[in-house]
Amino acid sequence: MPPRAVTAPNQADTELAKLTMVEAIAMAHAWEMQHDPSVVVIGQDVGLNGGVFRATAGLQQRFGKQRVQDTPLAEATIAGLAVGMAAHGIKPVAEIQFMGFLYPALDQIVNHMSRMRYRTRGRLSCPVVVRMPHGGGIHAPEHHSESTESMLCHIPGIRVVCPSSPARAYGLLLAAIRDPDPVMFLEPARLYRAVRQEVADDGRALPLDVCHLLREGTDVTIVTWGAMTAETLRAVAELDQEGISAEVIDLATLSPIDSATILASVAKTGRLVIVHEAVRNLGVGAEIAAIVAEHGLYDLQAPIQRVTGFDTIMPLFKLEQDYIPSAQRIVDAVQLTLAD
């Protein structure tokens, strides 16, 4: 794939570039590296190869080997280097090749990255972004399709972000890099090239604590994020046919959660369906349900429904589409909330 995102001239004066999410991610890297010399990209194969998904395509050619560094094949190394660099004036953007390979890095993320500011009373800090592909649906080998965001959301001191479109990926990645604290940036792998969208290369960041209203509606609120926004919007189109008006919220920032937007929507619709690909047990959906139970119970006209992955291992790809919640499961859950 040509490194279109980073070699394309600024097209603000002409027509906006139509980019895939992976191109938008590369473009956000390039913008920030251009404007902040302390931003350094590290990871496996992020250099000449541009990352296995090409999310860093063209960056090493443009910014050189010091600022786009291929690391040894070792995730703890990537995260540990990022901690040390960040404590000393560099803003590392680290790529983990797949979320299933994050675990060796967790020691560094949990024990250091998330608490460097805390335990040194602000003397040192970790402005790090750890990017990783998230979720299934791309026919990948074993361990390449995990959605373990709730594990990350349980760690105090880090932010967890998951974009759902090229434009959102661009704006949220800029925000993540500029944030003074560590951000886990989960990139829905099956959205990397699923759609093209006009994305202005304007360096404008999105907030890291606000959900996005994908669609207004009156009968039910559906909260989802990442790649599940696609299935949800397909379900909503079907519901439209049946005269059911669903409001769709893209959570986008999984931790901390923007509960105000969710509660306001539930107050309006009286019904809540939460959709995520990750396993059900203690998923982020459980936290959202708890927030609404604590603060919006009397707005509810029906029990909350969760449409999630099963409490099983993400299967190999022959069954992955049976694991990932389908539009039909979402439609059925919405109808359950509307049943008498």
| Region of 10-18, 26-34, 74-82, 166-174 interacting with another protein (CB under 8 A) | 74-82
Among 2, 141, 156, 207, the residue binding another protein under the rule CB under 8 A is: 156
Over the window 261 to 300, marking each residue x when it contacts another protein by CB under 8 A and - when it does not, the resulting string is ----------------------------------------
Query: Residue type at 42?
Result: I
Contact 138, 194 (CB under 8 A): no
Q: Look up residue 32 and give its two tokens.
A: 């920030």
Is residue 207 within the footprint of another protein (CB under 8 A)? Answer: no
Token output for 20:
């895939």
Q: What is the dihedral of CA 154, 160, 164, 165, to 10 degrees?
A: -170
What kind and span of H or E run contains 254?
A: strand 253-255
Q: Applying CB under 8 A, which of residues 9, 123, 243, 339 lies at the interface with another protein? A: 123
- Does 82 contact another protein by CB under 8 A? yes
Concerning whether 112 is annotated as a catalytic residue, the answer is no
Asked whether the bond before 37 is cis by omega within 30 degrees of 0, the reply is no
Given 112, 144, 212, 276, the catalytic residue: 144
- Number of helices and strands in the chain (H, E): 13, 14
Report the residue from 81, 161, 292, 327 that binds another protein according to the rule CB under 8 A.
81
Please, what's the b/e burial string for 87-126 (b: 16 or more CB within 10 A of its CB; e: otherwise)? beebbbbbbbbbbbbbbebbebbbebbbbbbeeeeeeebb
Rule CB under 8 A: choose which of 77, 301, 326, 335 binds another protein.
77
User: How far apart are CB 124 and another protein at their closest, in Å?
Assistant: 7
233: Cα within 13 Å, side-chain hemisphere: 14
Q: Is 256 in the site for another protein (CB under 8 A)?
A: yes
Q: CA nearest 145: which of 94, 97, 99?
A: 99
Instruction: For the CB of residue 137, give the shortest distance to another protein in the complex, in Å.
Output: 31
Binding to another protein by residue 48, rule CB under 8 A?
no
197 binds another protein (CB under 8 A): no
Residue 143 interacts with another protein (CB under 8 A): yes or no: no
Residue 243 burial class via C-beta count within 10 angstroms: exposed 0-12, middle 13-18, buried 19 and up: exposed
Shortest reach from residue 111's CB to another protein, in Å: 5
Residue 318 interacts with another protein (CB under 8 A): yes or no: no
Q: Is 72 in the site for another protein (CB under 8 A)?
A: yes
**Active site residue ranges:** 144
Q: Which residues contact another protein (rule: CB under 8 A)?
A: 40, 66-67, 69, 71-72, 74, 76-77, 79-90, 92, 104, 107-108, 111-112, 115, 117-125, 156-157, 179-181, 209, 256-257, 259-260
